[in-house]
Amino acid sequence: MPNTRKFVYTFAEGNKDLKDLLGGKGANLAEMANLGLPVPPGFTITTEACRAFLATGDEPRGLRDEIAEHLRALEVRMGRRLGQADDPLLVSVRSGAAFSMPGMMDTVLNIGLSDTSVAGLAAQAGDDRFAWDSYRRLLQMFGKTVLGVDGDLFEERLEAVKRAKGATSDLDLDAADLRGLVATYKGLIAEAAGQEFPQDPRTQLDMAVRAVFASWNGDRARLYRRQERIPDDLGTAVNIVAMVFGNLGADSGTGVAFTRDPASGKPGVYGDYLANAQGEDVVAGIRNTVPLADLERLDKRSYDRLLEIMGVLEDHYRDLCDIEFTIERGTLWMLQTRVGKRTAEAAFRIAAQLAEQGLIDDDEALRRVTGSQLAQLMFPRFADDGTGAGRLRPIARGIAASPGAAVGKAVFDQATAVEWAHNGERVILVRRETNPDDLAGMVAAEGILTSRGGKTSHAAVVARGMGKTCVCGAEALHVDTTRRRFTAPDGVEVSEGDVISVDGSTGCVYLGEAPVVPSAVADYFEERTTPHDDADELIAAVHRIVSHADRRRRMRVRANADTADDAARALRFGAQGIGLLRTEHMFLGDRRKYVERLVLADTDDGRAAALDVLLPLQRQDFAEVLAAMDGLPVTIRLLDPPLHEFLPDLTDLSVRVALAEARGDEAADDAALLGAVRRLHEQNPMLGLRGVRLGLVIPGLFAMQVRAIAEATVERVRAGGMPHAEVMVPLVGDVRELQIVRDEAAAVFAAVTRETGVDVDLPVGTMIELPRAALTAGRIAEAADFFSFGTNDLTQTTWGFSRDDVEASFFTPYLDAGVFRVSPFETLDGDGVGRLVALAVGEGRATRPDISLGVCGEHGGDPESVRFFHDTGLDYVSCSPFRLPVARLEAGRAVVLADAAQRGGGDTR
């Protein structure tokens, strides 16, 4: 079959919206080239080609020819051939996926250099040192990423040369040193890789492309994707771009820039610059950079041009952009741009600022923030009133790279971070600088502290992406990872295991544990204060965007709340009712003894007596919550867990009875209780006598609870209130179960109406939390006024694994193996559990079009799941009070994201 697919695109053929095909880097290079900005010529190999390669282990048919064709065109345009002996064209081979994965995949620069062309490059540049430096960099990068030689071996050889010369920086090495190093590196490659470094430029190119494809599945990249919830099947694009050189002397250099401060969102000049250096040096944080503002002094013309381009980019993308650039002998080149990663705080500030400036509308502002970012802003920070970090003296100050307050034991390598965190310790990972191999430790740590590197160093970029506290470039600290300690300027020594506190908002590092205080954003929600003009800009931004979400959302939000206090808190966080009031806590504490009596009663009278004691207590509980939620719906769930949960532990009780017997004591009560506990003991209690099953086998239990609800309603009506209680039956699997409880409830409502003269007829509905309930939802709806999806149990029973046990026992290997992208208890499993939800929604509505549909499992407060529930057509989500702001935001985002998707435009990040 002839090959009809196109795997290679020139920049002229691409644009910023083709990220899925060309990756972010390729799409944005194309966009910049088409804007007329100075981008070195090149082309992009699609993610589709990568996917084909990963599926078969080979380049797809036609790819080699397409590359050859584009390479020829590039050579014609540049007037030089790849690797040409007297004047070589050199190219970079860079990865670039649809989602940015900084430093996670491979890049090879200076492809095309060889033993012959290195002389041509030297002659053309008039600079021997530059040519040999470029060649040794190629050998190093190619050796490590393409041929799999341990990168440290190259570093060791480089250090040895520096040591022999007494040099402190690579810049002190001259052409002869670097030439010697090239010979050493070639020997190292031959020995360690078992093959010579290829001298043929096209072979170099093909091998580098394959290595970049393969790096998609490298350990680092997989871990990062799991962390960032990026799907595993996207593949990376590969960009092949004519090299420009930042290492051509003092009038050359390379840097990164942001159009706004990625930490605060404030407009200005932010970034780092490194003179006489090539690409990766800046991001790797190897040499310390100078602030971008210093470039004005070093090269005013390039600086002015850069600022002008930054303005063009921000206007064009209508967002914060980050940029990588290189200056080659006074000429500025743009190597990359993208809508920049930012902290949660900056995301809200920037979105609100741009909306305020009229650059974007409020819908777009809402699309540009996420529920996870809002959740981060609701995290605590250090107390600054003298009781917290303010009372401790900072031992050092670094760059505030990613905000938040982190306290933990200092650890100095990623393996220890992982191990200690696994054992439940909070740790801070302390390194001179981080590199992608440290990722697992960064994930495990509460915070990250480095002594080198700027705001764009690996540590800073990755920590910000993860929403993790990070202080970097604390240069005054002497970090000794071998001895596992660091020393602060005034001699304070911190060893592995010592507790430190790290403030990612100020850059301060403290010895000891600083107390933390809640976030101002959480306070704002809690108090429901309305910001005014001079209020904190962040609060104003959150207020603006969440208020807009409230205007746009279709779904209502309710809270899972069991007490009047919880209900009051939920109201402050924006609850529009209670979606789940669990009644189990009402049977604990002092009341446990009444449950024991209920279980032990062997006559109807005995049972009725126990229930009679519980009735007024329950009525009081319900009346208080109904008062707190006056005018709003309150869904009260009848007792769910197995009764033995309210009884003493089998082993404890057995011991007590045995001891009493041995002493010859009279312990009839305990003996009877032991009998009951034994009778009720189950191997799989979560699949046992619980939920509606209890209601059917313990006569009077559910009727008592329903009566308490009905009487509380009467009490509230008589007090002038507007109670809206709803009765919810748990763990229903068949309509008949629900019908029995419903009939019983109807009899209670009729009785209470008769007794009190107040008309009580409350909605009765059910949880849908068993697969059978979802599968027979059409029938169940005949007896249900509402469904509330119990996605905790529905996940447990659909997968067939215990929600209480499995997260600790096998989720980590399941995540590693890619069975889960994320725990299904955290984010709804749309493919499986979600299909059951969708089925039940459809069938429920078909039977009863006005049925009310909600969710009250943990997923009701998870950002991604909230959007799923919107798309599935639920009327409301219910979650714990603290998560309500996130649910409100995401319910609004679901609407504006769907709008944008329908229009086929908008930024649906």
Q: Of 46, 340, 73, 355, nearest to 212 (Cα)? A: 46
580 binds, among Mg ion, ligand PEP, none (CB under 5 to 8 A by kind): ligand PEP
769, 785, 829, 862: which one contacts ligand PEP (CB under 6 A)? 769
B/e letters for 614-651, b = 16+ CB within 10 Å, e = fewer, are bbeebbebbbbbbbbbeebbbbbbbbbbbbbebbbeee
* Residue closer to ligand PEP, measured from CB, 580 or 623: 580
Single out the catalytic residue among 70, 458, 543, 859: 458
**Contacting ligand PEP (CB under 6 A), which of 469, 791, 797, 872?**
791
Return the number of the residue (262 or 834) whose C-beta is nearest ligand PEP.
Answer: 834
Burial class (CB in 10 A: 0-12, 13-18, 19+), 87: middle
Which of 70, 80, 582, 644 touches ligand PEP (CB under 6 A)? 582
Query: In the complex with Mg ion, which residue's Cβ is closer, 543 or 637?
Result: 637
What are phi and psi for residue 658, nearest 5 degrees?
A: -60, -45
The CB-of-522 to ligand PEP minimum distance in angstroms stands at: 24
Residue 580 contacts ligand PEP per CB under 6 A: yes
Closer by beta carbon to Mg ion, 704 or else 728: 728
CB of 581 to Mg ion, least distance (A): 13
The entry of Mg ion, ligand PEP, none that residue 227 binds, CB within 5 to 8 Å by partner kind: none
Q: Which does 711 bind (CB under 5 to 8 A by kind): ligand PEP, Mg ion, none?
A: none
Instruction: Select from 134, 79, 102 the least CA-distant residue to 24.
Output: 102
Q: Is 330 left (phi over 0), alpha (psi -120 to 50) or beta?
A: left
Q: Which is nearer to ligand PEP, 370 or 791 (CB)?
A: 791
Q: Does 792 bind ligand PEP (CB under 6 A)?
A: yes
Q: Report, in Å, the least distance between residue 848 CB and ligand PEP.
A: 22
DSSP letter for each residue of 570-622:
HHHTT-SSEEEEE-GGGGSGGGHHHHHHHHH--SHHHHHHHHHHHHHHHHHHH
Of the candidate spans 364-372, 461-469, 786-794, 844-852, the one that interacts with ligand PEP by CB under 6 A turns out to be 786-794
Residue 856 contact, options Mg ion, ligand PEP, none, Cβ 5-8 Å cut-off depending on partner type: ligand PEP
- Name the segment binding ligand PEP (CB under 6 A); options: 207-215, 712-720, 784-792, 839-847: 784-792
Tokens representing 814?
Answer: 């399941």
The pair of structure tokens assigned to 858 is 């943990």
Secondary element (H or E) of residue 369: none
640 is a site residue for ligand PEP (CB under 6 A): yes
Residues whose CB falls within 8 Å of the CB of residue 287, separated by 6 or more in sequence, listed in order: 169, 274, 277, 281
Question: What CA–CA distance (Å, rounded) separates 658 from 671?
Answer: 9
The size of the interface with ligand PEP (CB under 6 A), counted in residues, is: 10
Cα angle at 397 between 393 and 401, to 5 degrees? 130
Instruction: Choose the one of Mg ion, ligand PEP, none that binds residue 843, judging by a C-beta under 5 to 8 angstroms depending on kind.
Output: none
CA 347 to CA 813: how far, in whole Å? 33
Closer to ligand PEP by CB, 336 or 797: give it. 797
Question: E strand or H helix at 837, and its extent?
Answer: helix 833-847
Q: Quick one: CA torsion of 576, 577, 579, 584, rounded to 10 degrees?
A: 140
290-291/381-382 β-pairing? unpaired
Task: For residue 857, state whether it binds ligand PEP (rule: CB under 6 A).
Answer: yes
**Distances in whole angstroms, Cα of residue 67 to Cα of each of 13, 72, 207, 627, 772:** 15, 8, 13, 72, 55
* Smallest distance, Mg ion to C-beta of residue 790, A: 4
Q: Which parts of this chain interact with Mg ion (CB under 5 A)?
A: 769, 790, 793
Write down the least CB distance from residue 790 to ligand PEP, Å. Answer: 3
Is there a catalytic annotation at residue 543?
Answer: no
CB of residue 797 to ligand PEP, shortest distance in Å: 9
Q: Is 621 in the site for ligand PEP (CB under 6 A)?
A: no
> Which stretch in 82-90, 360-368, 652-660, 789-797 sits in contact with ligand PEP by CB under 6 A?
789-797
Looking at 89, 313, 377, 856, which residue binds ligand PEP (CB under 6 A)? 856
Q: How far is it, in rounded angstroms, from Cα 230 to Cα 44?
A: 21
CB of 506 to ligand PEP, least distance (A): 40
856 catalytically annotated: yes
Q: Which is nearer to ligand PEP, 47 or 791 (CB)?
A: 791
- Evaluate whether 808 touches 786 at the Cβ level (below 8 Å): no
Q: Judged by CB under 6 A, does residue 793 bind ligand PEP?
A: yes
Examine residue 834 and tell whether it contacts ligand PEP (CB under 6 A): no
Query: 119 in helix, strand or coil?
Result: helix
Map residue 299 onto helix, strand or coil. Answer: coil
| Spacing of C-alpha 267 from chain mean position | 26
Minimum CB distance to ligand PEP, residue 578 (Å):
12
CB 547, min distance to ligand PEP, A: 29
What are the catalytic residues?
458, 856
For ligand PEP, the binding residues (CB under 6 A) are: 580, 582, 640, 769, 790-793, 856-857
